[in-house]
Structure 1
Amino acid sequence: MRCYYFLIFHNGEAQTDQVGELFGSAELAVQHGARVARDIASDPEYDRGSGTVVIVVDDSGAEIERRELRGGRKPWR
């Protein structure tokens, strides 16, 4: 098992992951990162123009995956 961290950049600010999570492979960590991104994008209050990015980093600090959010719901008019 290896520890992976999930960093979130939103509106120019970084939200760091100080704890991380253990996964048996980088592929599983990337799948979790994709779920984090989907969860953020599915929030009804998510601002699609905020430039949010989820980055998966391993315990050595190497970037494994970078996912820009492009989803989210359009506000009702």
Structure 2
Amino acid sequence: MRRYYFPIFHYGETQADEVGELFGSAELAIQYGARIARDIASDPDYDPGAGTVVIVLDDSGAEIERRELRDGRKRWR
């Protein structure tokens, strides 16, 4: 099991994830990051113009995925 972190960039500021979550693979962590992004986008108060990005980091701090939420569209980069 490895620890993955999910910081969120929103309105130009980063909300750090100091605790992270344990997953057996990077793919499971990426799926979890996608779920976080879906939860944010489904919030009725979510502002699509906020430039929100959910980032998935491995335990060494390397970025393995990011999910950008812009203008109502969600996509991985």
Settle same-fold status: TM greater than 0.5: yes
RMSD: 1.1
Q: Decide which structure has the larger Cα Rg and report it.
A: 1
Q: Distance in 1 between matches of 2:25 and 2:49?
A: 32
Q: Distance in 2 between matches of 1:69 and 1:37?
A: 7
Question: Partner of 1:60: helix, strand, or coil?
Answer: coil
Kindly indicate whether residue 69 of structure 2 is the aligned counterpart of residue 69 of structure 1. Answer: yes
Aligned residues: 72
- Consecutive aligned runs of 4 or more in structure 1 exceeding 2 Å deviation: none
Map 1:1-77 to 2 at 5 A.
1-70=1-70, 71=72
Gaps of 5+ in 1: 73-77
Q: Calculate the TM-score normalised by the size of structure 2.
A: 0.90
Question: Partner of 1:39: helix, strand, or coil?
Answer: helix
